Structure formats: C-alpha cells, structure tokens
Structure 1
C-alpha cells in the first residue's frame, strides 16, 4: 500500500461518543485478508464496544455489517483474490478445534471472534479479517444493500429457515423495524402466510408492500397474541422486538407445536407461565446470527427473490449521528466510504 494512513472511527473510551481519527492501514497476516470497505451498516450491536463490554480492548474500531472488495491477501490465503466482492458480519472467525467447531457448529465456537469487538471492524477505509469470515457478495446486490444483510439479514433469514415452519404455514413477524422489515420479506418469499405485528398503523402499508398478508396493530388490542390466535395461530413467530412482556404475550398466538424464535432482547426474563408450553407443546427458542456460509446463502436468496434492506446512507464521519438516530431510522443506516 502506498497510503500510510486511513480514515476511521473509534471507540476511544467506554461510554464516550465515537471519534473520527486517522489510523495506519492494517497489513493482513497469515490466513487473513485486507478489505477495502465500501459500506458498513450501523447496528445496535456496536453498543458492546461503545460501552466497553465483553472484555473489549479500547480503543476499537466498531462495525460488523461490512461490504467491500478484497484489497490484499496474506500468506496462506487460497480462496480470495484482490477485487473479489466480499462481506464480513458479526461472526468474525472460528477456532476450528473446539467441540462445537469439530461438529461443524461454528457459530457456537468456544473461542469465536466478533468483528468490531475482538478486532477492528468496518468503520474504517480498510479492515483485516480471517479468510473464513468472508462471504461472497452476489453481483445483483450493491454494497449498501449487502452491508445490512451481513447481520440483520442473515439473522432473520437463518431464524426463519430453522423455525420449523413449512411453506403455506402461518409465520408472524413481531416488530417491523430494521430486523422485522427484512424478516417480512424473507417469510413472504419462503412461501409462508406472513403476519406482521407492530405498534400502530403507520407501518401497515409498507409491511403489506414488503409481503405481509395480515397486519396486527399491537396497540388496538390488549393481547396481540390472542388476535394472532383468532387468525388461526402461527406455526412460528420471529420476535425482532426487545420486549420480554411482548414476547410472553405473543406465545398465546402459537399453534400447537408452534415455536417462538427470539432474535432481539431487552435482557429481561420472559414472564411466561408453563401452561402454554406444556399444553400444546409450544417452544420458546433463540437464534444467533450465523457464519460466513450462512451469510452467502442469505445474500444469494435475497438476490434471487428480490429481498432488499431499506437503507439511508451517511458518510463515515457521521457515524456518531447515525448511531444516535438508530431508533428513528427507517429502516437501516449504512455508512459509505
């Protein structure tokens, strides 16, 4: 590289705003790839680095919805070459030797690495990542579209294809936001009767446009779960809202043998009595992201079936404002370089 430094955004001190800075351009070591970042999505997961959680060492460059091109490959890299369009998501590498990895369950690797937490992420012009963390981006997707699919996209896609529902079954998506608007599209394209559940009617039109067959306004009835039950019940509910009381309520809308899949949380216990679980054999489960191959499959499906995140773009220097605006954004914010 001729350029000695690059633009980057860092978490310098726990709880402090993001800081725009200049850093040395990183060099890829053995088995690693340097990516020229074209876009990086803004996600609430950046709070882990921002608040100094999970043992993160500061300063740290956040960002785990990365889309760009391979710029250089370190020794031993056999799959990737300069110019390849690639993404890197939350799951930033596996150890390959723990019990989970040896059974192919790489997401539950005992020593898994998280991009933007265990090593510098995509809020920078360049990022270095292990070669196993890279996912190939289809030509049909722009970098701005691919970025959010590396986290919000893969999580909703993976949760849906592992929820146990079959084409023709009713699947509800609880929450039509950054995660939910993608879940509605994926559910529709997978052939489910798709029910969107959200507060108020302001997102009903867009939810139906994205593929929802039914819409439940959670403010119009004491129990949205009961409303879902009156619609015939759902084989699965994908909960994209961080509200334990709302998640407890929606279980009432599950059909016998139905499954609530939680992919967002407020970190509070779900206040749920056991009767709904015992009678009807209902299940409450969680789902956690996915590895690079899962990301490739999520993006390939999105490209094939026309699933796209709704994004607003901002320059890298606006990272702090973009993060502060997460709750008001509709629906994903992407930093562009």
Structure 2
C-alpha cells in the first residue's frame, strides 16, 4: 500500500512510498483509515523539530473503521467507527505511567512518529486505544486534538464561568480551545492576524468574537496561546490580567525569546498539557456527545493520499483550519 513516510532528515525526507499492509497481533486492531488530520506536529516532524524514528508512516489524528483484530476476544470491535489514542506503547513502570500520566512516559512510543501512523490506507493500533464514535461525521477526525485541548484545559478546569478568555491563534487547536473554554463558561475572543480572515470567519459563524487587533494590556482573565509563535505568546502575556492564567496550547518546535518577566510581575499561573491521557479522552468524547463542540465546520479540506504535499503546504501556509488526508480516495 502507499503511505507518507518520514525516511530521512529534513523536509525532503518525507515521501510517498510503498509499505506492507500491517497485520494485527493479539491485543491490537487494524483500522481501515477514513481520514487522518494533518497536524502542526507533522510539520515539526518533517522539519526535525519533534522526535521520530525513521522510516515511519506519519499521521496520528486518525478516524477509521476496525477492519481486523488479532484476538477473537476483541471481535466486537470489528466494523465499528473509531478514533484512536496515539500511544503505541509506554513502559508501564515509571512514576508517570503509575500515576496514569502516560503522556509523560519517557519511553512512550506514539503512532506517526515512532510507530507507523495513519497517512496510509491501514494502520495497526492497540485495542485499548480505541474509542467508538457515533455516526458518519468527518469531524470526529478531530477527537484526538480535542483530547489534547482537554488535557490543557479540563483537569483541573482552567476557565471558570464568567471569565474573559482570549485565544491567540485561529487554527484547529485555537478553534477547539475556544469551544472548550466556552463550554466551561468563559466569554471567548479569538485573535488572529489579517491573513487569518477565513479562519476567523469560521469562528464568527460558531458564535465567537474575533479580532486582528492587538488586545488591550491586562484585559483578560485567561489567555490560551494556540499559535505556537513567539509573537503570539508575547501578545498573550501582555493581554492577561494580573493574577491571571496563561495556558500554552501550541508547540513552538524550537527555542524562542519571550517576555517571561510578565509571569513574575503579574503573578501569573502558567500551565499547559502535553498530548492526551485517558481522562482527557473521556472529557473530549463527552463534549462531543453533548454537542458542546462543533467539529465538522473545522474540516476545511480533504485530499487524497497522492496529494499529501498540498495538504502539508496548506498547514504551512495557514490555509483553512483542518486539512485531512483521505487514504481511500483516488
């Protein structure tokens, strides 16, 4: 089967190549991939700004149908539509695994970076990673990034009812963060740049206030930095009130210079969340089931596997919100 692989260093080391169709062993399931979202992390992997083992099939935001299982005891999963957690394996013995914080395991191996992922027609994942999703909605491909946002915002809750919240960056993570913050009772403004007009239009259609202006200093109780850029973080640190909360949602992918003294002068609470946990998946799925988040409007383009380069370029250029690759399309 054809797949998008990271085979060597640099962006030139990403290519479309042939690999074997995987077979599930006991404890694992094979998914027929319906769609896999292109994430900013995929661009970081392409640029060698995020860890990986080459060669590896990229892609970790997966929606698929269970095609086969390695053990008859798991046959009830066959033909079910699922989203999947990203961990292929963790050590199970470190302090973080024992605390249920598997996202922090130093030996964690995730699909799309250290094990083969979803930019291919089929992928094998652990049975324990599967989460059934209802209906045929393509928006469920965003279940994994939504779980990552829940890891940042939900345990404990970062936003309280009545909080004024600024989200910097109107990409997929910013749009999801805005919806979760609103579900927590916040009044949310989504900030972008003038070239983000299309993304901000989607946010307005979802009922959010938007701006391309620099927010007034010390005007928000909570700021969520989802742009993964140093200017975005500086903007957020300026906008947050004294004794407010700053949450790093985006990944920079490199060292950046920030006005970090604002943390001291304002006595800010700074938090984040890395990847997801079983608890954050429960939060994400409940938000979906209760209709507190709208995911379909965030999927702005679907491309076949052969056009993966166009999908990557859309993310680099900030076009649309979530571009997905459909490995079954011609």
Query: Which category of TM-score, normalised to the shorter sequence, fits these structures?
Result: 0.7 to 0.9
TM-score norm. by structure 1 comes to 0.84
Residues 242 and 266, structure 2, Cα contact 8 Å, conserved in 1? yes
5+ long unaligned stretches in structure 2: none
> Take 2:191 and 2:284, find their aligned partners in 1: how far apart are those partners?
23
User: 300, 311, 316: which is aligned to 2:286?
Assistant: 300
Q: Is the contact made by 2:170 and 2:192 (CA closer than 8 Å) also made in structure 1?
A: yes
Per-residue deviation at 1:62?
0.4
Q: Under a length normalisation based on structure 2, what TM-score does the superposition of the two structures give?
A: 0.86
1:254 and 1:50, CA in 2 relative to 1: closer, same or farther beyond 3 A? closer
* Structure 1 stretches lacking a partner, 5+ long: 1-5
Cα deviation per residue 1:245-282 (whole Å; 9 max; x = unaligned)?
331332232233311111213323342253x3334421
Give the secondary structure class of the aligned counterpart of 1:245. Answer: helix
1:265 aligned partner? 251
CA distance in 1, matches of 2:187, 2:283: 22
Alpha-carbon spacing, 1:76–1:260, altered in 2? closer, same or farther (3 Å):
farther
Matched position secondary structure for 1:179? helix
Partner residue of 1:289 out of 275, 286, 297: 275
Does residue 85 of the first structure (1) align with residue 74 of the second (2)? Answer: no
Q: CA RMSD in A?
A: 2.6
Greater CA drift, 190-199 or 265-274: 265-274
CA distance in 1, matches of 2:148, 2:216: 23
Q: What are the Cα deviations for residues 269-298 of structure 1, in whole angstroms up to 9, with x where unaligned?
A: 342253x33344212222212035523531
Q: Counterpart in 2 of 1:329? A: 319
Aligned-partner Cα distance in 1 for 2:185–2:51: 42
Match of 1:115 among 111, 117, 123: 111
Instruction: Select which of 304, 313, 321 maps to 1:315.
Output: 304
Which of the pair is proportionally richer in helix? 2
Q: Give the CA deviation at 1:322.
A: 0.8
The corresponding residue for 1:173 is: 167
Match of residue 202 from structure 2: 206
Whether the 8 Å contact between 2:36 and 2:61 is mirrored in structure 1 is: yes
**CA distance in structure 2 between the partners assigned to 1:216 and 1:165 by the alignment:** 20
Tell me the matched-pair count: 318
Q: Secondary structure at the match of 2:242?
A: strand
